Structure 1
Amino acid sequence: MGTTCLRAAGAVLLTVLAWSLHGTTPAHAATTDFRGVNWADERDNFVDGVLVLGGLSTSDSYATTQAKADRILSGFQSNLGANTVRLPVNYATVSGSYWNSYTGAIDTAVSKGMKVILSYWESAGSRNGTVDDLNQFWAMWQTIVAKYGGTSLVHFEPMNEPYAYSDADWKNLAAQWLSNYPSVPRGRVVISGAGYNQRLITIGSDSRFDGTLISRHIYQFFDTARTTEDSWREALRTSVGGYAGRVLITEWGAPMTDGRDYNAPGDGDSFVAFVRGVAAEARALQLGTVYWPGVRPNDWYRLQTINGTGTALSLTTTSASGRDQLRQSWGLDAATPYHRVTARHSGKVMDVVSASTANNAEIKQYAWNGGGNQKWLFQDAGGGYYRLISQNSGKCLDVAGASTADGANVIQYTCGTGTNQQWQWAATGSYFQLRARHSGKCLDVAGASTADGADIHQYTCGTGTNQQWSRATTP
């Protein structure tokens, strides 16, 4: 929905129902692994004809779309720490020749380890809160599910804001979607709350939707009588009920181009109160959130602006305080300083390869470039140990499989309580060693290499400068 038209926005509340166990990393029953933004059409996603995401063109080939998408998605990852993107679909886009090009954006997101939420939007000409044409609707979803049903990072939201249906009628239609596509795992289906994705309990309490995620939309203009942070926290908490483990906010947003300070308590400004209240309660309930919009040209709610032409695109942040509150909603501490961690022997820094946000992504050394994948938060884990959390992914520095062997691989993985994710910052002269709590071994650049891309693993602690590190705060 378009914020310029006071679109009924939404907060989708998703649940991660199944987590892979990795070493000593525990399962986590929350949707916080969804840290997302919407990538939208400049005209809003209610369009007649094909959808054209900001920065793309109907004349783009598949390869050109991939090249542009790579730059935009990399911006979401580096500037915000996002790992999820929500994209619109409609019949005109999926049934026509442009679909091949459009899939370049989806495929690129998947290749970068990002989750993708595909959501059906009505056309502008027949926008009334119901599906435009049921035959076309089912044909569209058949095409999408046939292509992406087996892609674990792709999630399906049958309809955005089904506001004209009664609760019973909407649930019957959503249940029919599940019946039509039984091969799609329930945990990858996002069922919109009734109305403007607001009434969640009616979905959560219906056994036909057991195992699915539930989508919530929330905007300041949904309830202008609320003017305090506490009132917005109460509104979100009440709507979620007992289903926090399944709820994902897929739309929420506020003005980001007019200089408001969202980091200062603001019960005198209804938008500031809204953003701070929703961010705080989403974090408390451990809800994933997907901001509207990450990119939508000329939308005053946008958090990123596209720069450049052709495939030479980049993103800049419109509001640093808005970004901080989004990261607050994700459970990431924007106010806490991040560090570059530099190897003494090479002068190169600890880096998550290719700015990946995926579990098991490799840790290597590379020359400093200022990317979020080279910035690390030292989070107190107790007992003199720290978790090292990547700014880009929100994931932790981890010894794979909790191995105690020399040469064991060091990766990033979803943060947990495992001691294979806890590191001692131990002084050795004017430098420091990073010692894994579970093994007592040191973070080590393999073979004392000075090359870009050299592997970082654990090894028995010694006196080598390839095991000695310094840290410095970064912007």
Structure 2
Amino acid sequence: MNRLRSRTRLRAFLIAALLAPLLTVSHGASAATNDFRGVNWADSRDNYVDGWVIPTGLTAGDSYDSVRSKADGIISGFQQQLGANTVRLPINPQSVNSDWWGRYKGAADSALSHGMKVIFGYWEANKDGKVDDMNAWNTMWDKVISDYGSNGNVYFEPMNEPFGYSLNDWVSLCSSWLSRHSSTPRGRVLISGTGYNDNVTGVGAASALNGTLLSLHFYGYWASDTTRSAWTTNLSNRLGSYSSRTIIDEAGAPMTTGLNYYGGNQDGNTFTAYFAATTDLTRSRQMGVVYWPGLRSGDTYSITRQSGSGLAVNNSSGVAQLRWGWGL
């Protein structure tokens, strides 16, 4: 009888052990983020503007229909030229809490109609790494969530690069945001890493943020290394054990200066080594990448440029390396 009980308990223990990881995943964020193959569509002035954010190709005088029509060409370009399925769009209170929002929504609506995922991210104007005005910020997010909270292809990033906050203060602010928008699934919220979105180990370990996705930024001008191995170590340290929750929603390198990113010659140059290491790691760890920028006039990192109503590629080897990182 005792032996039977022991066998029964052992069997129960083994079943529980096998099911535990599956149960954990079902209640949290995705176990991989590589379904985010994205680009940033950015304002030529940068997204840190004290006014409306107006991504390249749009104008302040555009109607909703005009925004939608222009966006159709640009979004189709992201899909056809790059293979992207995600676009990250900037927002701020000046844009959302005004009549521009009703027209600017045409960009997101175009992306969604093309089957793309959309990430809305907040950029502040004061460039101090803090929310400029809490009341206006809350009003903005209330409006965005009201308009897009029911659409499962829309994701929300409460703030881009929160370098003005300590880890504890940032976690507290994000916890308040999550509480205010508790009807929004946590798996559709991207919590920025600390500093310039440059490290997710702190937010990843915060139990108050369990179930959310994490966003990391990673750039080649942050170090002078010229080997893939050094850049791999650099990036791995910023991720810690949280790769499965993390989307690198800004990473980019010069695309208009003639650099060759094709395999076999990446070491020896800071940017080619950086980009190869980044895309190798995201591919191997099944992580999403949202390139900076997919389109932004005047930016040497822009991987495309406007061409007629659509887009043209600035560096085919850069596109090939990005697609490698996406797992394509």
- TM normalised by structure 2 equals 0.90
Match in the other structure for 1:259? 258
CA displacement at 1:227 relative to structure 2: 2.0
Aligned-partner residue type, residue 232 of structure 1: W
User: Which of structures 1 and 2 has the larger relative contact order (alpha carbons within 8 angstroms, sep 6+)?
Assistant: 2
The residue number in structure 1 matching 2:241 is 242
SS of structure 1 residue aligned to 2:89: strand
Task: Mark the structure with the bigger radius of gyration.
Answer: 1
Residue 127 of structure 1: how far off its partner (Å)? 1.3
- Distance in 2 (CA, whole Å) between partners of 1:227 and 1:195 is 24
Q: 1:77 is paired with a residue of what secondary structure?
A: helix
Moved over 6 A (4+): none
Query: Which residue does 2:124 correspond to in 1?
Result: 122
Q: What are the residue-to-residue correspondences of 1:135-154 with 2, within 5 Å?
A: 135-154=135-154
Distance of 2:222 and 2:170 partners within structure 1: 20
Matched, 1:134 2:102: no
Please report how far the alpha carbon of residue 231 of structure 1 lies from its aligned counterpart in structure 2 after TM superposition.
Answer: 1.0
Q: Which residue of 2 aligns with 1:321?
A: 317
Give the distance between the partners of 2:237 and 2:97, measured in 1 at CA: 40
Partner of 2:290: 290
Match of 2:80 in 1: 78
Give the fraction of aligned pairs with identical amino acids, expressed as a percent.
48
Give unmatched runs, 5+ long, in structure 1: 1-16, 20-27, 333-475
Amino acid at match of 2:242: Y
The alpha-carbon deviation at position 237 of structure 1 amounts to 1.8
What is the deviation of 1:238?
Answer: 2.2
Task: Give the structure with the higher percent strand.
Answer: 1
Secondary structure, in 3 states, of the residue corresponding to 2:105?
helix
**What CA deviation, in whole Å up to 9, does each residue of 1:59-93 have, x standing for no partner?**
11111111110100000000010000000000100
Match of 2:152, as an amino acid?
A: S
Using the TM superposition, name which of 71-80 and 262-271 deviates more. Answer: 262-271
Aligned to 2:208: 208
What is residue 47 of structure 2 aligned with on the other side?
45
CA shift for structure 1 position 18? 6.1
One-letter amino acid matched to 2:208: R
Residues 176-227 of structure 1: CA distance to partner in whole angstroms, max 9, x if unpaired? 1101100000000000001111221111111111110000000011223x22
**What's the counterpart of residue 7 of structure 1?**
none
Separation of aligned partners in 1, 2:50 and 2:114? 30
* Uncovered stretches (5+) of structure 2, i.e. residues with no partner: 1-24
The one-letter code matched in structure 1 to 2:190 is V
The TM-score with structure 1 as length reference comes to 0.62
Matched residues in 2 for 1:98 and 1:307: separation?
A: 25
Please state whether the residue corresponding to 2:278 is helix, strand or coil: helix
Residue deviations 1:262-321 (CA, integer Å, cap 9, x gap):
11422211011111111101111111000000000110000000122xxxx110000000
CA distance, structure 1, for counterparts of residue 291 and residue 42 of structure 2:
11
SS of equivalent to 2:294: strand
Deviations 1:333-379 (A, max 9, x none): xxxxxxxxxxxxxxxxxxxxxxxxxxxxxxxxxxxxxxxxxxxxxxx
Number of residue pairs matched?
301
1:467 aligns with none
More helix by share: 2
